[in-house]
Amino acid sequence: MTLQFAGPIPSGRTATTKATASSGDRLLAIRVLRRGLLLNCARCHFEAFYRVEQVGSFFDCLACGHTSAMARGRWYKKDPEPH
Ligand SMILES: [Zn+2]
């Protein structure tokens, strides 16, 4: 199961959303959840979850080992940024 949090909540969001993010931060702190990105390989297109600690400007494919750049096309195509 993968849960994703978009990051800091802009002002104006509902209290429920803030409470959910706060709960997420608590679960991250006690290592129940992990932050990461769903990315695919530029060579074999294998898609996997990468912890934020594993990803920088590049990431190594878990299937074939190819190093891909963090660039458009490596994440869900309808999203402007990875998440
Ligand atoms: Zn690959």
Domain ranges of the chain: 32-69
Question: How would residue 12 be classed by pLDDT, with cut points 50, 70 and 90?
Answer: low
Q: How far apart are CA 34 and CA 3, in angstroms?
A: 8
* C-alpha 12 – ligand 1 centre gap (Å): 41
Residues in the 5 Å CB sphere of ion ligand 1: 41, 43-44, 46, 61, 63-64, 66
- At residue 59 the predicted structure's pLDDT band, cuts being 50, 70 and 90, is very high
Query: What local confidence, expressed as pLDDT, does residue 31 receive?
Result: 66
Q: How confident is the model at residue 62 (pLDDT cuts 50, 70, 90)?
A: very high
Residue 40 CA to ligand 1 centre (angstroms): 8
What is the mean predicted confidence (pLDDT) over 59-67?
96
Write the secondary structure of the chain as one string of H (helix), E (strand) and C (coil). CCCCCCCCCCCCCCHHHHHHHHHHHHHHHCCCCCCEEEEECCCCCCEEEEEHHHCCCEEECCCCCCEEECCCCCCCCCCCCCC
How many whole angstroms from 47 Cα to the centroid of ligand 1? 8
